[in-house]
Amino acid sequence: MAYDSLYNQYPSVATTDATPTTLATLPLPISGTTAIVEACYGMRSGNNCAQTKKRAIIRNVSGTLTVASLSTLDALAGDAGLLTASGTIIVSGTNIIIQGTGIAATNITWSPCIAFRIF
């Protein structure tokens, strides 16, 4: 039996530098495969925005998560300077972590949206 989630928006998270920051955490059941698509929208002052979209397949075998596949769907920016900001999908323990990496000395407010299906 599969579990589906439509795109869910998670609370906004601010970054002020180029340090990877957790934007959302999704715990997974003990076993199964998860297909996930995340879109991270970043906004900085002056109404400049960026979007990154990633897709991943995550396997959970007896509590050990591995990223079986990860691809970038697109990276867009209203300001070329924001193209160095990025979002990604990693695993930690039994959690899928959505991370945003900002830009040095730049305030960016991230709004992650995530859709997933657990098989």
pLDDT in tens, 32-67: 899 999 998 998 877 788 888 999 999 999 889 999
Class of 3-118 per CATH?
mainly beta
Backbone angles phi, psi at 84, to 5 degrees: -80, -15
| Whether pTM exceeds 0.85 | yes
Strand positions, DSSP E, 1-119: 3-9, 13-15, 20-27, 32-44, 48-61, 64-77, 86-92, 95-101, 108-118
The confidence band for 16, taking pLDDT boundaries of 50, 70 and 90, is: very high
